[in-house]
Structure 1
Amino acid sequence: MAGMTVIALLAGCGPLDAGGVDAGGDRGSGSGSGGGDGGGKGTGVSPLDNPKGTERGLGAVRSDKDRAAAVKLIGKVATKGRGAKTGYDRDEFGYAWADNTDDVPMARNGCDTRNDVLARDGEDLKYRSGSKCVLVSMTLHDPYTGKTIEWSKSDAAEVQIDHVMPLSYDWQMGASRWTKSERMRIANDPLNLLPVDGSANSSKGDSGPATWLPPARGIRCAYAVRFAQVALKYDLPVTAPDKEAMLAQCA
């Protein structure tokens, strides 16, 4: 059974809608992605040391002690079958990158959520003249592929903001019953947001961890932890195959 799970983890794909936006609500275009065993060097802080998502990026979970802690955390996540997608629309989670979201870090600071998380994870930040918010270039160490991306706003889709727990997935697992303000929180919470290689984000779509994991194998346990952190914060279950896949990455 474990061998079959690992094979499934490597397949991963996600549909795009006609507008070029993935089913989780993130943009779906960009440059090619890399692979390999990277994902730790320079990509950020381990999610176990970053429970609010306010520190940079997504660092690898490396030690046996931390991997045991990761398994324990993932074990707390509830499971249920994935519900219907009926009624899902990105607008149900508010307009994209709203700064007026309540009760999430970085909100109401005068900068939109996208620029907030780009600034959180990027290096060598350069802003539009006269702006304290709008980034025009930066260097990103992408956790999903292990690549270093020299990003500029002229090719904005090369870096996209991934909802780690996709918005469509959230909808199907219970967010359809939430208030609009509650859905805005999960859509703009930095805990659920990572700037990543655009094509890697496109390949993910609204997949859970059983059908998509980051190409960089060294970051997969950290990705599973972050997925679990979002699920636990918002009291959302995951599917049983997704939980099995998450546990397998940190075992």
Structure 2
Amino acid sequence: MRPHRRFIAAGCLIIVLLVFWLIAGTSADAEESRGQSSPVPSQTPAVAVPSPSSFSESPAAPDPAPATDNAPALESSAPEPAKPEDRQKPGVAALALLETLPIKGRAPKTGYDRDEIGQAWADVDRNGCDTRNDILARDLSALSFRSNESCRVISGVLQDPYSGRTVEFTRGQETSALVPVDHVVALSDAWQKGAQQLTLEQRTLLANDPLNLLATTQRMNSQKSDGDAATWLPQNKSFRCAYVSRQISVKAAYSLWVTMAEHDAMERILADCPDEAAADSTLVEEPLAPAEPRAAKAPAAEEPARMPAPAADKAAPGAAPSPAPARSVNCSDFDTHAAAQTWFEYYHPMMGDIGGLDADGDLLACVSLP
């Protein structure tokens, strides 16, 4: 019986060993399977296997890049030439500066000639460019210059301060004159209000001072002629404060005076903008002292010391225009705007708008007439 038991025991041992071997093999396979498969879920997003949603969102990511790329392009675009600006008088209002100007009658125009004012468009600031091109470069936008030159303006766009209209400028024999440069204080007006007592060099500065110059249109320049604030104001009403302030600043810099009618007109305009600042000339540090008057001019220089009656403000241009002053005068009494304006300019300084020709207070009479 003992050998049989030994056989049975050996068989049981073999069976037990087989069971352990099978169990161990299964566990090892399971561990190996887990060891190979566990990294896959965590690595799948890192691998470039995009889901459908990632395809739809991917274009949004580059959006910041174009915005960043475009910014330098805008900044690197060629800027327009620097334009000189008037130096503002700190804390000095034009209305206050107006009260410092002498009020005198208009002196005779005797002896006035353009040559008496000095060289036209002289390079007084010594920058190598003549004054007209300096002003065009300052007042126009979208500028182009002659090849290899930094002075001569060939074309540009003017936002006309007097009319408010946009005008294209092109240099040419027939087109250059369409954009003239206006003397804010007309040279003839300046001559009759103190400039004849300045030296030739001082008058040359006056005629070429950027403070006294503005690019405008031929039509506005012709309408203004040598008028002062009592007889002409810009059609663009929003510019009138700046215009009058500029005239006051010029007259203060060059020791010029104003007539009573002119003073009152300036005061009336500035009443709507009492904080409008005056400006300094870039050519004149302090107001110019008038030169000693020439012997022939002595009587004229002494006469304004007396306060004249308003009637003496405006020299009568020959015979008084018809019709005679009357409350019944109206625009129907004139054929053209020019005729009405002549009548208005003659009587207005003495009597005001007795005919009611200036409906909107812009000192332009019967603008509805041809």
> Number of matched residues?
185
Q: Counterpart of 1:87 in structure 2: which amino acid?
A: G
Change (3 A) 1:176 1:225: same
Structure 1 position 108 matched with structure 2 position 91:
no
Q: SS where residue 147 of structure 2 aligns? A: coil
Q: For 1:203-218, what aligned pairs fall within 5 Å after superposition?
A: 203-218=223-238
In structure 1, the partner of 2:294 is none
Higher relative contact order (CA 8 A, sep 6+): 1
In structure 1, the partner of 2:110 is 86
Given the alignment, which residue of 55, 70, 80 partners 2:94? 70
Structure 1 position 50 matched with structure 2 position 86:
yes
Please give the TM-score of this superposition, normalised by the length of structure 1. 0.70
Residue 128 of structure 1, CA deviation: 1.3
Q: SS where residue 126 of structure 1 aligns? A: strand
Please give the TM-score of this superposition, normalised by the length of structure 2. 0.48
Residue 218 of structure 1, CA deviation: 1.1
Identity within the alignment, %: 47
Q: Counterpart of 1:240 in structure 2: which amino acid?
A: M
Q: CA RMSD in A?
A: 2.0
Residue 77 of structure 1, CA deviation: 2.0
Equivalent residues of 1:75, 1:247 under 8 A apart:
no
Q: Counterpart of 1:78 in structure 2: which amino acid?
A: P
> Which 4+ stretches in 1 moved above 6 angstroms?
none
In structure 2, the partner of 1:183 is 203
Given the alignment, which residue of 225, 228, 232 partners 2:245? 225
Structure 1 position 193 matched with structure 2 position 213:
yes
Q: SS where residue 210 of structure 1 aligns? A: coil
In structure 2, the partner of 1:245 is 265
Equivalent residues of 1:209, 1:246 under 8 A apart:
yes
Rounded to whole Å, the distance in 1 between the matches of 2:259 and 2:239 is 21
Residue 178 of structure 1, CA deviation: 1.6
Q: SS where residue 157 of structure 2 aligns? A: strand
Q: SS where residue 180 of structure 2 aligns? A: strand
Rounded to whole Å, the distance in 2 between the matches of 1:186 and 1:165 is 9
Equivalent residues of 2:95, 2:267 under 8 A apart:
yes
Change (3 A) 1:70 1:179: closer
Equivalent residues of 1:209, 1:242 under 8 A apart:
yes
Residue 52 of structure 1, CA deviation: 6.4
User: Which runs of 5 or more residues in structure 1 are unaligned?
Assistant: 1-44, 54-65, 102-106
Given the alignment, which residue of 171, 184, 208 partners 1:153? 171
